[in-house]
Amino acid sequence: LQQSNAQNDRLVELGRIAASIAHEIRNPLTSIRGLVQLLAPNLTSSAKLSYIDIIISEINRVNSIITEFLKTAKPAPPLKEAIPVTDLFAELELLCHSESLLQGIELVILPVDPSLMIYADRLQMKQVLLNMLHNAMEAISDLPNSRTGMIQFEAERFGRYVQIRIEDNGVGMDEQTRTHLFSPFFTTKNSGTGLGLSTCYHIVELHGGTIDVESTPGHGTVFRIYLPTVDKKPELS
Ligand code: ADP
Ligand code: MG
């Protein structure tokens, strides 16, 4: 528990640093954008004008990356409500059915007892489940072609908690990865941000829950998310 508190402190600190870096980048970007726009009407050649268009749209792109990044690095305080887990799973199915078909992945979302509820922020929970799903898909896309990718979601009561279990038969991970996977910016991917799981961890902690992981290299991975159930009085937060 102490370790996870230290990890959480570091995460909060990193989130702060990230937010201030983002603002520092944004200020010069805004003035560059303004100056480029001022230059544009004085240019005659159409080639130069089209360069300006590209410069402006690239600046806009960097700006929206920063916006997205800030949303990820600093999850807002959760707006909690009672949510049937079966609702969450239904939304997940709707969002991901076609994507998994396209990738030739078998996405199995097991039926959940309709009375099983969590007290949680709907959007943040969706973000957590989608992050998990995308990681699983990426773990599967690295597989040799001989194996069909499978991702399974299930949920059941676990004492005062709901356990959501996400299993994939992807590449799995080694010990080194398993110890670092919740750290911000830790990634083993060429184009990964390493922010997905640290954000998931942070969100689940804000909900009074936790995440654990089991993995066998070459065989697959199981994530378990524990979230407080609703049946007792929700704690004030
Ligand atoms: P990113 O996906 O950008 O790399 P994440 O924080 O989502 O960042 O994940 C961190 C790392 O954890 C990944 O780079 C990968 O090595 C490992 N990982 C996460 N989920 C899985 C999974 N389902 N199977 C295997 N490895 C995983
Ligand atoms: Mg990820």
Give yes or no for a contact between 225 and 128, defined as CB atoms under 8 angstroms apart.
yes
Return the best residue to mutate from 133, 171, 187 for the ligand 1 pocket (most ligand atoms within 8 A of CB): 187
Q: Whose CA is nearest to atom 8 of ligand 1?
A: 194
Q: Is the CB of 210 under 6 A from ligand 1?
A: no
Those residues with Cβ within 8 angstroms of residue 118's Cβ, 6 or more apart along the chain or in another chain: 82, 83, 85, 88, 125, 162, 207, 227, 228, 229, 230
pLDDT at 123 over 80: yes
Task: Report how far ligand 2's centroid is from the alpha carbon of 1 (Å).
Answer: 24
Q: Whose CA is nearest to atom 12 of ligand 1?
A: 181
Given the cut 0.85, state whether the ipTM is greater than it: yes
pLDDT digits (tens, 9 = 90+) for 130-177: 999 999 999 998 777 768 899 999 999 999 999 999 999 999 999 999
DSSP bridge pairs for 163: 156, 226
How big is the chain by its Cα radius of gyration, in Å?
A: 21
Closest by alpha carbon to 210, among 225, 197, 221? Answer: 225
The whole-angstrom separation of Cα 122 and Cα 30 is 34
Q: How confident is the model at residue 27 (pLDDT cuts 50, 70, 90)?
A: confident
